[in-house]
């Protein structure tokens, strides 16, 4: 999950270059990691997306001079270090937004209407399952399927008004997570701290340099897509426009329920995927991280709680691999495939590596 509001483009990089060499920073990459093609790679828009998920091997003492590519990738990981969590690095716009949404959600019960409640439920499904889980996560981050127009535009729009960031930054951050899962450089590992994983990591500011490097190294395929670039640049406008539209048509009850309650529930269900499913639950597969399957997170997050399944096989379009692992987002993908709006769907179910 990405931060909520774009920082001004004039913001300067906040990580000192000297910090990269001390013990608290992300360790040094020993081998250059590139996105060069290999004969067996599955390319999307000329990019080996699987290579974006590969972990950077690091050690304390570099054995050779780092390439420019390796230094930039290391710089990205340093931006996600918990050591940056200090008052000077807090994104106060994001913090203010988070506080406002939670205050609005606490006030909402005093302005309850069934109409506002119904809108909140529908928007929660559209923004979380269709926008975040289907579009941002399975389609853009992992290329588990392709969406045709207009499904692509509509699903991405719902991802934008979920309030979790633009499609490029969200996808890039998620690819970093998969590459460094539960290792140094993971943007939100609960092995660092449960609250860091659940909430605090999003409070760090996003200097322009960070986004430039993220987009260059982790979403080179998406930066070619004019629709996604447009939504990335206009993300705050769509989010605020949604709030004003709800206020105009339904007054304060619609704003509090359709925006505040809806996004707070969406945030915490997404954050639980980051935190809880790396702490509790069972495992169908042996992986190099601590990912687990947790049924109640799967219920709250439209199937995303089958997290061990996903980390073991991130390119698959379905997160539930056993018959009882319900996956509502997969049902939506299946419907879109039926009407011809979802194509190249990777619907395989692999054999589990352990019972």
Alpha-carbon span 269 to 303, nearest angstrom: 11
Q: Where are the beta strands (DSSP E) in the chain?
A: 28-29, 43-44, 47-48, 58-59, 146-147, 342-343
- Alpha helix positions (H), 189-276: 194-198, 208-218, 226-255, 262-274
- The average confidence (pLDDT) of the chain is 86
pLDDT level of residue 351 (50, 70, 90 thresholds): confident
Q: β-pairing, 43-44 with 342-343? A: unpaired
User: Are the C-beta atoms of 281 and 292 separated by less than 8 Å?
Assistant: yes
| pLDDT reported for residue 353 | 56
Q: Classify strands 28-29 and 342-343 as parallel, antiparallel or unpaired.
A: unpaired
Q: How confident is the model at residue 90 (pLDDT cuts 50, 70, 90)?
A: very high
What is the per-residue pLDDT for 44? Answer: 63
43-44 and 47-48 strand pairing: antiparallel
Tell me, what's the pLDDT at 92?
94
Q: Alpha carbon of 213 to those of 71, 79, 159, 168: distances in Å? A: 11, 11, 23, 12
pLDDT of residue 16: 36
- CA–CA dist 85, 79 (Å, integer): 10
Q: Answer for the pair 260, 104: CB distance below 8 angstroms, yes or no.
A: yes
Domain boundaries, the chain: 17-343
pLDDT-derived band at 55, boundaries 50, 70, 90:
low
Q: What is the pLDDT of residues 3-42, one digit of tens each?
A: 333 333 333 334 333 333 333 333 333 344 444 445 455 5
Reported as a single tens digit per residue, the pLDDT across 252-311 is 999 999 999 999 999 999 999 999 999 999 999 999 999 999 999 999 999 999 999 999
| 252 vs 351, higher pLDDT | 252
Lowest mean pLDDT among 55-64, 74-83, 141-150, 260-269: 55-64
Q: How confident is the model at residue 355 (pLDDT cuts 50, 70, 90)?
A: very low
For 68-80, how does the pLDDT look when each residue is reduced to its tens digit (9 = 90+)? Answer: 888 999 999 999 9
pTM for this prediction: 0.83
Q: What is the pLDDT of residue 32?
A: 40
Query: Does residue 108 have a pLDDT over 90?
Result: yes
DSSP bridge pairs for 342: 147
């Amino acid at each position: 999950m990405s931060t909520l509001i774009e920082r001004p483009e004039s913001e300067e990089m906040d990580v000192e270059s000297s910090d990269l060499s001390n013990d608290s920073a992300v360790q040094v990459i020993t081998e250059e990691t590139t996105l060069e093609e290999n004969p067996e790679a599955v390319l999307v828009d000329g990019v080996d997306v699987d290579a974006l998920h590969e972990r950077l091997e690091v050690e304390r003492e570099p054995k050779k001079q780092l390439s420019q590519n390796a230094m930039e990738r290391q710089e990205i990981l340093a931006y996600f270090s918990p050591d940056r969590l200090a008052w000077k690095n807090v994104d106060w716009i994001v913090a203010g937004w988070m506080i406002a949404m939670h205050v609005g959600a606490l006030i909402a019960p005093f302005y309850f209407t069934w109409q506002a409640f119904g809108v909140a439920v529908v928007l929660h499904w559209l923004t979380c399952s269709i926008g975040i889980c289907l579009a941002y996560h399975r389609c853009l981050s992992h290329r588990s399927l392709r969406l045709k127009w207009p499904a692509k535009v509509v699903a991405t729009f719902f991802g934008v008004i979920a309030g979790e960031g633009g499609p490029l930054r969200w996808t890039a951050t998620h690819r970093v997570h998969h590459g460094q899962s539960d290792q140094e450089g993971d943007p939100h590992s609960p092995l660092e701290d449960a609250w860091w994983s659940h909430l605090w990591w999003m409070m760090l500011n996003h200097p322009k340099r960070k986004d430039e490097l993220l987009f260059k190294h982790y979403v080179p395929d998406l930066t070619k897509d004019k629709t996604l670039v447009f939504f990335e640049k206009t993300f705050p406008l769509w989010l605020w426009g949604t709030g004003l539209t709800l206020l105009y048509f339904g007054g304060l009850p619609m704003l509090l329920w359709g925006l505040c309650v809806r996004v707070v529930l969406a945030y915490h269900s997404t954050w639980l995927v980051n935190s809880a499913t790396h702490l509790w639950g069972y495992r169908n597969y042996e992986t190099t991280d601590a990912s687990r399957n947790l049924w109640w997170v799967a219920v709250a997050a439209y199937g995303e709680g089958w997290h061990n399944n996903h980390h073991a096989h991130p390119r698959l379009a379905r997160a539930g691999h056993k018959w009882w692992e319900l996956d509502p987002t997969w049902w939506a993908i299946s419907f879109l495939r039926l009407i011809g709006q979802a194509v190249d769907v990777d619907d395989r179910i692999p054999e589990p590596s352990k019972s």
